[in-house]
Structure 1
Amino acid sequence: MTLFGKEHVERYRATDGAEGYEWQKGTTILLLGTKGRKSGREYTHPLIFREHDGAYLVVASKGGAPEPPAWYVNLQADPEVTVQIKGEVFNARARTATAEEKPQLWREMTEVWPAYDEYQQKTAREIPVVVLERA
């Protein structure tokens, strides 16, 4: 069974990632908690990730849509986030990879999910790589 959205978050949390950590095509998933920039509500998003030098990388692709995902806009307003990887939950600070960092980090992420290159071709916006660093 492939999990998506709210159900993915619920199963991941209920099982400490036993269900939902491993996802499609060998990818792994973390849960990213952000605060709504307008509502102040807490939101949780299951995202493909990769570890990199003690930090964690995610991609704000939204499948190549012309606008970024809401979670990315929210973390730009408030970069203090929560991250859950399997049973471990921790605070982190999110930042967009710099222009110097991005080419290497993009390659690392397309190794685990090659479709990111297709998503980038579908949109005029530059799809960001987000670095999540433990607080």
Structure 2
Amino acid sequence: MTRSNGRAAVQRISSTRTFARVAPHVIPVLDRAVHRLSGGRTMLSTRMLPGVVLTSTGARSGEPRRTPLACMPEPERGSWLLIGSNFGKREHPGWTANLRRHPEARIVYRGRDIPVRARLLEGEERAEAWRELVRFWPPYEVYQARIDRRIRVFRLEERAGD
């Protein structure tokens, strides 16, 4: 199987409701373990999609929250897009509430610890980012069609270090 055939197969599988039920319980656990064992250099899910480990501040608890997430790097902007798809589940993922309340966060991307500021995208800026995200990973469109909520899209921009 070629890499593009493998990617298409993963996209088909990740678009299923079964995947949406199982993946949130399995993928983050595996990603955290691989990320820790690799010294922050990689995650299991990055075999198919680029990823970051987001450290945000809990919206209610104020405690640090580490979440492995797929991302779409925007090297020309020096930023990353994060999509709150939650695998097509009805509720927004918790990390999106954290970023809305506390936009200053950190990511680990390719082994680099980077301070970022998150911005929830709206209007035409969101529409443009959404088109790019769906081109990048078509299952996002399947997730959106399956749910009533509008999937949140954030742009993370690097900020001066602490």
1:7 aligns to 2:30 (yes or no): yes
User: Would you identify which runs of 4 or more consecutive aligned residues in structure 1 move more than 3 Å?
Assistant: 18-21
1:131 aligns to 2:159 (yes or no): no
Q: Which protein is bigger by CA-based radius of gyration?
A: 2
Cα distance in 2 for residues equivalent to 1:19 and 1:99: 32
Higher helix share: 2
1:51 aligns to 2:66 (yes or no): no
SS of corresponding position for 1:4 = helix
Paired-residue identity, %: 28
1:104 aligned residue = 128
Given that 1:27 and 1:112 are in contact with CA atoms closer than 8 Å, whether structure 2 keeps it comes out as no
SS of corresponding position for 1:17 = coil
Cα distance in 1 for residues equivalent to 2:62 and 2:152: 23
User: For structure 1, which runs of at least 5 residues remain unmatched after alignment?
Assistant: none
How far is 1:60 from its partner? 0.6
| 1:60-75 superposed matches below 5 A | 60-75=84-99
Given that 2:50 and 2:73 are in contact with CA atoms closer than 8 Å, whether structure 1 keeps it comes out as no
1:80 aligns to 2:104 (yes or no): yes
How far is 1:21 from its partner? 6.3
Match of 2:51 among 1, 26, 29: 29
* Deviates further, 123-132 or 7-16: 7-16
CA RMSD of aligned residues (A): 1.9
Scaled by the length of structure 1, what TM-score is found? 0.87
Return the letter of the residue paired with 2:136.
Answer: V
